[in-house]
Amino acid sequence: MGNTLECESRRKPPVWLNALCNASYVEEEQEITTCYTTDEPSSSLKDEDEHVDTKQQAAMRDTTVQGTLTVAAAGVQMGCSLVLASTGGHVLLTTTLGALCAVRVLQVTYPIPTRCTLVAGSVGLGALGGDFLLQRMSAPAVHAGLTVAVLGAPIAMMCDKIVPLVKFKLAEALQAEKDTDDDSGVPQSPWHNLLMTSRVLVWASNDTLWWVGSYGTLIVGAAVSSTMPLATMNVLRALTTPGASVTNGLLFLTGTLVGSAALNALKGIVTSEAQTRFAVHLQKLAISNVLRQEMAWFDCQSTGAIFTQLGSVGSIRSLLSDLIPTVISTGVKLTTTIVILSQYDVKLAAICLISVPSDYFFSQWYSKFLKQYALEAQEITANNNNISLEMVQAAKTVHVFGAEDQQMGHYWDQVDELVKLRTRNNWILAGSSILSTAVPYGFSIVMFGYSGYLAQMGLLDITQLLTVAAYQSTLSSHFQSLIESYTSYGTLMGQCAKGFHFLNRLPRQKRGTHRPEQQLQGRIEFKNVQFGYQSSHDHVLEDFNLVIQPGECVALVGPSGGGKSTVINLLLGLYDPTRGTLTIDDHELCDYDPAWYYAHGVSAVNQNPVLFNSSVMDNIKMGLEEEDISEAQVEDAAKQANAHDFVMQMPDGYDTVVGKGGEFLSGGQRQRVAIARAVVRNPGILLLDEATSALDAESEHSVSEAIQRVMKGRTVVIVAHRLSTIQKADRILVISEGKIIEEGTHAQLLQTSGAYSTLVCSQLIADIPLEKPQ
């Protein structure tokens, strides 16, 4: 599983897609350098780094814009080419557009300069001009020339005028996303939606072939099926014209029907495969991104919220599997319809062209409300999940305190709020559906009136009039479908906004790449360290200074909440100091490569070690590569940890499964497996946080024995409550309110009659008879 994930993450998408993604697929190192931290910059080196980052980001934005426009242009050209091909347009024009599209597609995958597309365009136009002269202004050549002019002008304009605007807007959206903190949610704007859509394409690029197959069959199928009314009218015309042959018409109609059915079936198969692959990929991406977040993020997230967001990630796939296909097929059908209508009368086609943007602007205005609703509903659902999860988990406590009614009250409040929200949304939806029907039908009436006028003037015969009527009726449903797609797009983006943020979030902890050649010596230095947890805003450690020499064993004692575990957390690199430095062997901890640091640098055992529902062997080897560790090394570690004997007595020895959270083992056994897991990596620094305090006397004895054995030859920081452990430390530090208030050996500290001796006497440690040193 781990390997698969790694492979997945290392399979890179094309260059431009990579840039679009910016946050998700950029190589690990790049991610680390581009991520931002809450630290104030402390050196000019940091400033330089940030300068480089900004440059990289600017370059990425440029590539992002270029990529988006390239794809848009390729889409337009491909669509036109296919429409022309399917409607019997000019062969040379069709080929030219096809060639342009091919160059665009190549440009997407390889860094071909825009010049190439211009050259390809000029060649195409040259060919067209030659053809035009040869044909002496034949109708198809004129038609082709006009189409090129009509299509060429907006594309050229787009490149010259719109590119800077799009660049600026996308850059703004990227920046707004970066400036957003986790609580306030993701900024919502059409540009940000475009950015997110681009990212979905990045994630889908893993299965490019399947999606190309899916959309290819969709486009061709839509073009073929939209010629159906024309084919039907051809048959009708042949039937009503005396002496005309119906065979060709029938063949065209049959071909259209069979082709459309076959393409539909093929599309179904290819699309469902693409969807499944994409869904699996999203799941992997979401889980792996959760696991790489920093601890401070987990502190601020409830489990319910994480699971709700994981769930919302799934809905992202409907963008690719429902929305984009609907828009594409509607777009193709609409274009085909307009091309066919323009053959009869240009004004008819013009009315269609006007009605499209009118509907678009109307729906854009409307989708604002729906997006807002989606975000609010998601928030309330997350709260609901949280409350119900908490109630179930703490059912016993709720029962014992008789707090059922109170808890249910909280829950109902949230449900009521959700109901109110849904009612409001239903009204908005109802209004939307009335208007979205009225607007396109209004345009249909205008069109029908105009075509009736043309028939009266003798410019359309009866079959042409029927063809126009048939296309008119489909036109309104195409409009409808476009409007619905846009409103659904707004809703979907609202629903997925948190999911996107979730998938894209970069861990805000800077980590380096330092990998020492040899094992750590284990020198630790805290220099003026200040630290507070993000969720509480108070400083737990203030001006904390401490030097621990290699091989030294230091015990941390002190009142509850004094900051002992916080020191361990900082040494584990779970959090970074907000000020000051923490160095290990004279390198800042954040400069170490985390993979190396956890595999060879540091290991920890705490009060309630978490074991996974797999074998003892897998639990001990956890996080290490198979080739890095042999079974003999695992057994050796288990022997040091006093675990080997009891493991061998279990039915399957090291292959025995330990159950969920290690439930098949006793507390002491769990602890010893955890110690084996810590020492098998041969760490330079061993951290023990109250590793024996939850055990009974007998288990404690064997665990303590194991601890004494594994402490040899490495730096050890131990948080302990038992005198038996503390006494053996080289140095004892008393930590209270985030400060070291006393330090020395057991004997020295008892003589001072300070906080330590009070702690000892007040039975911090009652299980050992106290002997005052002479």
Contact residues for Mg ion, defined by CB under 5 A? 565
Site for ligand ATP in 299-328 (CB under 6 A): 299
Q: Which does 540 bind (CB under 5 to 8 A by kind): Mg ion, ligand ATP, none?
A: ligand ATP
Which of residues 501, 510, 564, 714 is near ligand ATP by CB under 6 A? 564
Stretch that binds ligand ATP, among 228-236, 380-388, 492-500, 564-572 (CB under 6 A): 564-572
Q: Residue 560 touches which of ligand ATP, Mg ion, none (CB < 5 to 8 A by kind)? A: ligand ATP
Buried b (16+ CB within 10 A) or exposed e, 395-423: eeebeeeeeeeebeebbeebeebbeebee
Sheet order of strands, 587-588 included: 541-548, 524-531, 579-584, 587-588
Task: Please check whether residue 565 is in contact with residue 573, taking contact to mean a CB–CB distance below 8 angstroms.
Answer: no
Please write down the HEC assignment for all residues of 561-572.
CCCHHHHHHHHC
With CB under 6 A as the contact rule, which of the stretches 8-16, 111-119, 259-267, 535-543 interacts with ligand ATP?
535-543
Task: Compare residues 536 and 649 and give the one whose CB is closer to ligand ATP.
Answer: 536
| Distance from chain centroid for Cα 574 | 22
- Nearer residue to ligand ATP within complex by CB, 177 or 690: 690
Q: What DSSP string describes 365-403?
A: HHHHHHHHHHHHHHHHHHHHHHHHHHHHHTHHHHHHTT-
CA distance 218 to 213: 8
Compose the 539-558 pattern: x for residues touching ligand ATP by CB under 6 A, - for all others: -x-----------------x
Which of residues 3, 43, 518, 560 is near ligand ATP by CB under 6 A? 560
Stretch in the footprint of ligand ATP (CB under 6 A) among 503-511, 522-530, 531-539, 592-600? 531-539
Is residue 98 near ligand ATP by the rule CB under 6 A? no
Select from 184-192, 427-435, 561-569, 752-760 the region that touches ligand ATP (CB under 6 A).
561-569
Binding window for ligand ATP (CB under 6 A); candidates: 429-437, 530-538, 545-553, 659-667: 530-538
472 vs 565, which CB is nearer to Mg ion?
565
Q: 587, 605, 607, 608: which is closest to 596 by C-alpha?
A: 587
Residue 621 near residue 680, CB atoms below 8 Å? yes
From Mg ion, ligand ATP, none, interface partner of 234 (C-beta below 5 to 8 A by class): none
- Residue 501 contacts residue 375 (beta carbons within 8 Å): no
Stretch that binds ligand ATP, among 6-14, 70-78, 371-379, 534-542 (CB under 6 A): 534-542
Q: In DSSP terms, which residues pair with 732 in a beta bridge?
A: 555, 744
Residue 23 backbone zone (phi > 0: left; psi -120 to 50: alpha; other: beta)? alpha
- Strand-pairing partners, residue 583, are 525, 588
Closer to ligand ATP by CB, 362 or 533: give it.
Answer: 533
Q: Which is nearer to Mg ion, 173 or 719 (CB)?
A: 719
Distance in Å, CB of 308 to ligand ATP, minimum: 21
Strand partners, 603: 686
Burial readout 112-144 (b: 16 or more C-beta within 10 A, e: otherwise): eeeeebeebbeebeeebeebbeeeeeeebbebb
566 touching ligand ATP, by CB under 6 A: yes
Min CB(575)–ligand ATP separation in Å: 9
688 binds ligand ATP (CB under 6 A): no
Q: Which is nearer to ligand ATP, 336 or 566 (CB)?
A: 566
**81/332 Cα distance (integer angstroms):** 11
Q: Compare residues 558 and 577 and give the one whose CB is closer to Mg ion.
A: 558
**Cβ closest to Mg ion, residue 64 vs residue 565:** 565
Q: Extract the tokens encoding 522.
A: 């284990």
Indicate the residue among 527 and 721 with the shorter CB distance to Mg ion. Answer: 721
If the CB atoms of residues 452 and 754 are measured against ligand ATP, the closer one turns out to be 754
DSSP secondary structure code for residue 722 in this structure: -
Q: How far is the CB of 565 from ligand ATP (least distance, A)?
A: 3
Give least dist CB 402 to ligand ATP, A.
28
The only residue of 241, 535, 545, 630 in contact with ligand ATP, by rule CB under 6 A = 535
Please, which residues have CB within 8 angstroms of residue 306's CB and are 6 or more apart in sequence?
Answer: 290
Instruction: List contacts with ligand ATP (CB under 6 A).
Output: 299, 533, 535-536, 540, 558, 560-566
